[in-house]
Amino acid sequence: MSIAGRITAQDVAKLAGVSQSAVSRVFTPGASVAPKTAAKVRAAAKTLGYRPNSLARAMITGKSRIIGLVVAYLDNQFYPVAIEKLSHALQAKGYHVLLFMASNDPGEMDRLMDDLLAYQVDGIITASVAISNDVTRRCADAGIPLVMFNRGQPGSGLSSVTSANALGGRKVAEFLLAGGHQRIAHISGWQGASTGRDRARGLIEGLAEAGLAPHAMIDGMFNRDKAAAAARELMDSPDPTDAIFVGNDHMAFAVIDSLRAMGLRVPQDVSVVGYDDVPMAAWGAYDLTTVRQPLVRMVDATVETLLAQIDDPARGAQAVEIDAPLILRGSARLPEEGT
């Protein structure tokens, strides 16, 4: 028996009657090992109460099987669901996930890089986090691929996976115009983020094709309080809007609450459309018409892109955009109701 009662791979190998390298292969995801050998090793490990030492294996193989997942905030209901699906998808591939919280304050991600490098992560996924040139360089120097989820950064040389945000904004414009709306306002997501900019651009382009411009545009910063205040500002004006496209569902819920508090009816007085299609959007209290982020496809593409770059460090970066359907519910007038 090993020192201090700790069970080692050598102990398992001796009981199973196999080599120590065979034990290592059994507990290495993806390694080739004969089923009979694997059964003997696992039986011996269970008898002895052996647990493989992941840190020791990482030192030997140079691979930690750990992915760093960096998230800016969890207030938006989209991200807890996304994190759960990303974690399950990575675990199914034999990877462990370390979750890091970061703000979009300048230098925050730069500071987190020290922790990510200390844990010897094999790859990094960021969710709605801005990436500086210094972070990009440090990842490249360390040979750690990074994929941006639900955020793009053109010119960064980093891979990204998003829904087709501009196309989604265009779909909203076409839908609201078909419903007879003429004073279409936009409470956008933060304009410092590609998602906020692209959704706004799609709306503007869609309205322009009909010879219109947004009735008003206010940056809601992906913040509930700012979105609620923006809704009050829009409806208190001498020429109130008749439809509001909100940059995400998280803000759209606050907009609907604010409109109702003002005594307005949704959609009879003003239509509201969101973006994301989080589970709460289907609740009867909101019944939100919204653009559905294709979350499962986005997660699969993110994991596939990251693992491909881990396997082939020379693989170039790619920007993946996935079409997002408009989900019709009761918070916006339907076309036949607007004619």
Express each pLDDT in 14-50 by its tens digit: 999 999 888 888 887 667 889 999 999 999 999 988 8
User: Residue 131 has what DSSP assignment?
Assistant: -
pLDDT of residue 128: 82
Q: Does 3 have pLDDT greater than 50?
A: no
pLDDT confidence tier of residue 154, bands split at 50, 70 and 90? confident
Do residues 174 and 260 share a domain? yes
CATH of residue 87: 3.40.50.2300
Indicate whether 288 belongs to any domain.
yes
pLDDT greater at residue 103 or residue 209: 209
Q: Phi then psi for 275, rounded to 5 degrees?
A: -150, 125
User: Are 183 and 258 in the same domain?
Assistant: yes
Residues 174 and 287 in one domain: yes
Q: Is 161 helix (H, G, I), strand (E, B) or coil?
A: strand
Q: What is the pLDDT of residues 203-238, one digit of tens each?
A: 999 999 999 999 999 999 999 999 999 999 999 999
The CA distances from residue 298 to 63, 86, 151, 165, in Å, are 25, 9, 11, 13
pLDDT at 106: 66
Residues 156, 127 within the same domain: yes
pLDDT value at position 33?
A: 87
Peptide bond into 267 cis (omega under 30): yes
What number is the average pLDDT over the span 187-206? 96
Say what the pLDDT of residue 223 is: 95
**Shared-domain flag, residues 25 and 91:** no
Q: Which pLDDT does position 1 carry in this prediction?
A: 45
In which band, very low, low, confident or very high, does the pLDDT at 311 lie, cut at 50, 70 and 90? Answer: very high
Specify whether 81 is located in the same domain as 110: yes
Is 60 a member of any domain?
Answer: no
Instruction: Please indicate, yes or no, whether residues 19 and 95 belong to a single structural domain of this protein.
Output: no
> According to DSSP H, which parts of 262-335 are helical?
295-311
> In which domain, by residue range, is 241 found?
165-293+326-337
Sign of the CA dihedral 175, 176, 182, 183?
negative
- Report yes or no on 58 lying in a domain: no
Q: d(Cα 121, Cα 292) in Å, to the nearest integer?
A: 32
Residues 285 and 150 both lie in one domain? no
Residues 202 and 238 in one domain: yes
Q: What is the CA radius of gyration of the chain?
A: 25
Q: What's the full length of the chain, in residues?
A: 339
Nearest to 123 by CA among 260, 274, 306: 306
Q: What local confidence, expressed as pLDDT, does residue 27 receive?
A: 80
On the CB side of 310, CA atoms within 13 Å amount to: 22
**87 shares a domain with 157:** yes
- Give the chain's mean pLDDT: 91
Domains identified in the chain, total number: 3
Pair (227, 200) in one structural domain: yes
Whole-structure pTM value: 0.83
208 plus 285 within the same structural domain: yes
CA-based nearest residue to 66, from 99, 106, 27, 36: 99
